[in-house]
């Protein structure tokens, strides 16, 4: 059984994962309209992964006798200043998510909820991968700078860069 404190903290994480999915969906739609096919494919997939992160939490909360609450979400920005600022936002967002996951892990230890602590280890390693991928993408964009041909190739390459591993690893 979840303590009310842990249930509330997990539901806050549900909000964050749902917001992540929504933000990446808005970014994907913008990229598609701007003609960045590879980037939009990548972001649509990333949005799906975040929804899966949210679902996994909701199911866990419910299984442990709590109630996973589906939140109301704010509308994310519809427009972005360019692909570099967009991916900087992705990186900043993932760093924020990692820090929130770490706080959750800390709460579990303080509350001696080792089951939830164990469950959260999946999120800890997922965040390491997501942050590393976002950093790799930003490094590439810094190299390319404002070069239009570089942006074209980057967009093409991003289709082949695996989206964050997410659910793909589940059950393996
Ligand atoms: Fe599920 Fe990228 O945070």
CATH code (residue 110): 1.20.1260.10
Q: Which atom of ligand 1 is nearest to the CA of 164?
A: 2
What is the spatial distance between Cα 16 and Cα 53, in angstroms, rounded to a whole number? Answer: 10
Paired tokens of 99 = 């820090």
Question: Are residues 62 and 3 in contact, defined by beta-carbon separation less than 8 angstroms?
Answer: no
What is the spatial distance between Cα 43 and Cα 22, in angstroms, rounded to a whole number? Answer: 11
* pTM for this entry: 0.92
Q: Domains in the chain: how many in total?
A: 1
Instruction: Kindly state the average pLDDT of the residues 151-165.
Output: 80
**Could you tell me the residue range of the domain that residue 131 belongs to?**
4-160
What is the spatial distance between Cα 90 and Cα 82, in angstroms, rounded to a whole number? Answer: 13
Question: Are residues 6 and 68 in contact, defined by beta-carbon separation less than 8 angstroms?
Answer: no
For ligand 1, the distance from its centroid to the CA atom of residue 84, given in whole angstroms, is 20
Paired tokens of 171 = 């059950």
Residue-level pLDDT at 160: 77
On the question of pLDDT at 172 being above 50, the answer is no
């Amino acid at each position: 059984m979840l303590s009310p404190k842990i249930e509330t903290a997990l539901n806050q994480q549900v909000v964050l994962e749902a917001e992540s999915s929504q933000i990446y969906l808005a970014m994907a739609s913008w990229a598609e309209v701007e003609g960045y096919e590879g980037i939009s494919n990548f972001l649509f997939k990333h949005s799906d992964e975040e929804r899966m992160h949210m679902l996994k939490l909701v199911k866990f909360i419910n299984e442990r006798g709590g109630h996973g609450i589906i939140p109301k979400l704010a509308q994310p920005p519809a427009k972005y200043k360019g692909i570099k600022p967009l991916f900087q936002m992705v990186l900043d967002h993932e760093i924020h998510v990692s820090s929130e996951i770490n706080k959750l892990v800390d709460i579990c230890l303080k509350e001696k909820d080792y089951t939830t602590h164990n469950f959260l280890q999946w999120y800890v390693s997922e965040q390491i991968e997501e942050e590393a991928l976002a950093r790799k993408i930003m490094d590439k964009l810094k190299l390319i700078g404002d070069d239009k041909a570089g942006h074209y190739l980057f967009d093409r390459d991003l289709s082949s860069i695996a989206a964050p591993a997410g659910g793909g690893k589940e059950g393996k």
